[in-house]
């Protein structure tokens, strides 16, 4: 598990980085509105209500940076957050909400896909999966899009606190087996809980590492 493999100094460097000031930069409804690609970025994608806002808030240690919303499907834009002027977090539009099942994918494919293709400074996309549900068809479509765009991505299980240890091991095992066949996927699946803080330090360390920010 990540807790055993992430070196303590990487955890500490990333903790310090994410403890520095972070801010909302902008929401872009079109790819052309996005800022220069002069800073490394990582992106967060997932089905609506997966816990994306909560995870971004947990990463930066704030309650209110990304809007945590109980209104699935509300986020329609790519929202960018600046972390200490050194990297940016991109919150991609949620996909796969209920009756819009068929348009899911379309939303993700339009703005989300344009983002994923159009940002040479994108170091990694994190695909969030609710650990209670595992990979669903819209997630597999998102993985197809990432594989086709050759965007390096990693699966992050959210809301791990909602499962018993044995159940979490099982969803980790199944998800890890599914990503093993995926060309652009990072082989390690990370289990997180924004509510309890599990996996957040490891996720910070992963973000800092892929952004080349391994010095304090
Ligand atoms: P988003 O739509 O993907 O941005 O999801 P939100 O961050 O708004 O979260 C959706 C719902 O899941 C909210 O009711 C959150 O309180 C809940 N939630 C998010 N993360 C966690 C978590 O780690 N544990 C638990 N138990 N609930 C969570």
| Per-residue model confidence as pLDDT tens for the chain (216 residues) | 444 578 899 999 999 999 999 999 998 888 899 999 999 999 999 998 999 999 999 999 988 888 754 444 445 688 999 999 999 999 998 876 544 555 555 555 577 888 888 899 999 999 999 999 999 999 998 999 899 889 999 999 999 999 999 999 999 999 999 999 999 999 999 999 999 999 999 999 999 999 999 876
Q: With a 6 A CB cut-off, is 194 part of the ligand 1 pocket?
A: yes
Closest ligand 1 atom to Cα of 158: 23
Q: Taking the mean position of all CA atoms in its chain, how far away is CA 46?
A: 7
Q: What is the pLDDT of residue 75?
A: 53
Residue 157 near residue 171, CB atoms below 8 Å:
yes
**Nearest-angstrom CA–CA distance, 76 and 29:** 7
**Nearest-angstrom CA–CA distance, 15 and 11:** 6
> For atom 9 of ligand 1, which residue has the closest CA?
51
Q: With a 6 A CB cut-off, is 119 part of the ligand 1 pocket?
A: no
Quick one: 29 exposed, middle or buried, by C-beta within 10 A (0-12, 13-18, 19+)? exposed
Residue 93 near residue 142, CB atoms below 8 Å:
no
Closest ligand 1 atom to Cα of 56: 7
**Separation of CA 54 and ligand 1 centre (Å):** 6
**Nearest-angstrom CA–CA distance, 177 and 175:** 5
Which residue, among 28, 2, 209, has the nearest Cα to 118 in the 3D structure? 28
Closest ligand 1 atom to Cα of 192: 23
**Nearest-angstrom CA–CA distance, 36 and 181:** 34
**Nearest-angstrom CA–CA distance, 78 and 30:** 8
Q: Where is 104: in which H helix or E strand? A: helix 101-107
Q: With a 6 A CB cut-off, is 162 part of the ligand 1 pocket?
A: yes
Q: With a 6 A CB cut-off, is 73 part of the ligand 1 pocket?
A: no
């Amino acid at each position: 598990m990540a807790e055993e493999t992430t070196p303590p100094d990487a955890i500490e460097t990333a903790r310090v980085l994410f403890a520095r000031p972070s801010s909302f930069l902008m929401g872009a409804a079109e790819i052309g509105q996005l800022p220069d690609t002069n800073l490394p970025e990582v992106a967060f994608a997932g089905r609506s209500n997966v816990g994306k806002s909560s995870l971004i808030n947990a990463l930066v240690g704030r309650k209110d940076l990304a809007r945590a919303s109980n209104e699935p499907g509300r986020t329609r834009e790519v929202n960018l957050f600046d972390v200490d002027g050194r990297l940016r977090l991109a919150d991609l539009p949620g996909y796969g909400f209920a009756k819009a099942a068929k348009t899911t994918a379309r939303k993700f494919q339009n703005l989300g896909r344009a983002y994923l293709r159009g940002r040479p400074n994108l170091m990694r996309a994190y695909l969030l999966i609710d650990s209670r549900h595992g990979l669903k068809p819209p997630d597999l479509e998102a993985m197809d899009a990432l594989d086709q765009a050759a965007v390096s991505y990693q699966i992050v299980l959210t809301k791990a606190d909602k499962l018993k240890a044995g159940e979490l091991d099982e969803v980790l095992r199944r998800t890890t087996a599914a990503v093993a066949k995926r060309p652009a996927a990072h082989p390690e699946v990370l289990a997180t809980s924004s509510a309890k803080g599990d996996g957040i330090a490891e996720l910070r360390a992963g973000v800092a590492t892929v952004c080349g920010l391994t010095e304090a």
